[in-house]
Structure 1
């Protein structure tokens, strides 16, 4: 006997997809506008060795990654432990990568600025 695989959908899944698409589009449009305009006060203001504009891009990108994982990878329907293990691991690795890049990048910049090495590349 054949299994009936039809699914009665009240449109909530389609509505959810379009709402997530709208949010992701809005965040992307904000990123593109900020990238084109590059407001001077965001470029000149630094926070932890990086301009505030770069931090805004990082935060918005992390938000988009979280939303994609939450909605399109169906994490909202999983158990709390699985959600936390996926999200916390990703956030820890991203934070660790940012720490390493900022620390090492600043060290290399200081070495070249203080004259121990020359800018020959």
Structure 2
């Protein structure tokens, strides 16, 4: 039994008349987020590259967050997660977000440790 797809995005803030218009709206949103990432990657503002948060530059955190936003929105809209039950949505969305954040945490602390060993330890930079 087929059912109609919702022709709205951002929890009803933007409504469209057809699926084609909705696809273009979603494409526009994803393009804007990608354009922000590209502009920040090219410009690399000093305020974002000189500021550290939890051992990593603020610019890198912004890239990670924007990438997770795009991944979440693609899953939400194109995989029709908004039409599923709450428990399934949370299981599908929050599990990878938790795992990505955990991986980032592990990589940051391990990389910082290795850097400090080479910088302050008995081993010198020999490569």
**CA shift at 1:92, angstroms?**
1.1
Question: In angstroms, what is the RMSD of aligned CA positions?
Answer: 2.0
Ranges in structure 1 where 5+ consecutive residues have no aligned partner: none
**CA shift at 1:33, angstroms?**
0.6
Ranges in structure 2 where 5+ consecutive residues have no aligned partner: 8-15
In structure 2, what is the Cα distance between the partners aligned to 1:115 and 1:71? 50
In structure 2, the residue matched to 1:114 is 120
Query: TM-score scaled to structure 1, two decimals?
Result: 0.86
Larger RCO, structures 1/2 (Cα 8 Å, 6+ apart): 1
Moved over 3 A (4+): 9-12
In structure 2, the residue matched to 1:12 is 18
Larger radius of gyration: 1
Match of 1:54 among 57, 60, 72: 60
Q: How does 1:1-121 map onto structure 2 within 5 Å?
A: 11-121=17-127
SS in 2 for 1:85: helix
Q: How many residues align?
A: 115
